[in-house]
Amino acid sequence: MKTLVMGVIGADVHAVGNKILNLAFTEAGYKVVNLGIMVSQDEFIKAAIETDADAIMVSSLYGHGELDCRGMREQCIEAGIGDILMYVGGNLVVGKQDFAETEAKFKDMGFNRVYAPGTRPAAAIADLRVDLGE
């Protein structure tokens, strides 16, 4: 069984989407380690180490995603899990910015997949199947 570490990054307290995603990933057959809301980069990484996770799923709903996610890949490299799969999604930036730009920005930060607002959980699950070679 593949293990996913998930949570809402930064000082973000949006709890509903987190619960929906937890349910969707669990039903899709993953072992989900849900860290809930207000999760720091450090917590994601430590949980991933201890559980030998296959992917880190980051949510951000309050528009400060860029600030919160910056440097996360570097932290993973530093912690010895530099190759771990990382997905991010939600309302990553404030206002109506062009999503292609946002996607490029987060990919540049080292995220493997970046999702626009309104993406269905099924889309991320389909990508997981491909990326994890299932």
Partner 1 sequence: MKYGLFADVGSTFTKVVAVDLENAEIIGRAMSSTTIATDVNIGYDKAANAVMDMCGIKEFDLKLACSSAAGGLKMVAIGLVPELTSQAALLAVQNAGAKVLASYSFMLSKKEVNEIAGLLPDIILLSGGTNGGNSQVILHNAQALADCPVPLTVIVAGNKNATDECCEILEKAGKIAVPCDNVMPEFGVLDIQPAREQIRKVFLKQIIEAKGLDSLAKRVDGDIIPTPAAVLEAITLLSKGTDKTEGVGSFVAVDIGGATTDVYSATEGECLYQGATLKGLPHPKYKRSVEGDLGMRWSSPYILEMEGAEKLAKSAGVTEEEVATTIKKFNANPELLPENEIEQKVDVAVGKAATRISVKRHSGFITPVYTPLGERFMQEGKDLSAVKYIVGTGGIVISSPDYKEILAQAMYSEDDMYSLRPKNAEILLDKSYILSAMGLLSTQFPEIALEIMKKEIINRK
Which residue reads 């930036």 in tokens?
93
Q: Has 14 been annotated as catalytic?
A: yes
Binding segment for partner 1 among 19-27, 41-49, 70-78, 125-133 (CB under 8 A)? 41-49
Which of 47, 72, 85, 128 binds partner 1 (CB under 8 A)? It is 47
Does the footprint of partner 1 cover residue 62 (CB under 8 A)?
A: yes
Does the footprint of partner 1 cover residue 66 (CB under 8 A)?
A: no
* 104/54 Cα distance (integer angstroms): 23
Which residue reads 């299932």 in tokens?
134
CB of 37 to partner 1, least distance (A): 6
Instruction: Please give the structure tokens belonging to residue 47.
Output: 């949980």
Element (H, E) at 25: helix 16-27
Instruction: Please give the structure tokens belonging to residue 5.
Output: 């570490």
Does the footprint of partner 1 cover residue 11 (CB under 8 A)?
A: yes
Helix (H, G, I), strand (E, B) or coil at 27: helix
Which of 49, 103, 125, 131 binds partner 1 (CB under 8 A)? It is 49
* 100/81 Cα distance (integer angstroms): 28
Which of the 8 DSSP states describes residue 64? B
Which of 24, 38, 116, 125 binds partner 1 (CB under 8 A)? It is 38
Which of 27, 50, 78, 101 binds partner 1 (CB under 8 A)? It is 50
* 88/80 Cα distance (integer angstroms): 20
Q: Has 98 been annotated as catalytic?
A: no
Write out the residues near partner 1 by the rule CB under 8 A: 1, 3, 5, 11-13, 31, 33, 36-38, 43, 46-47, 49-53, 62-64
Residue positions annotated with a catalytic role: 12, 14
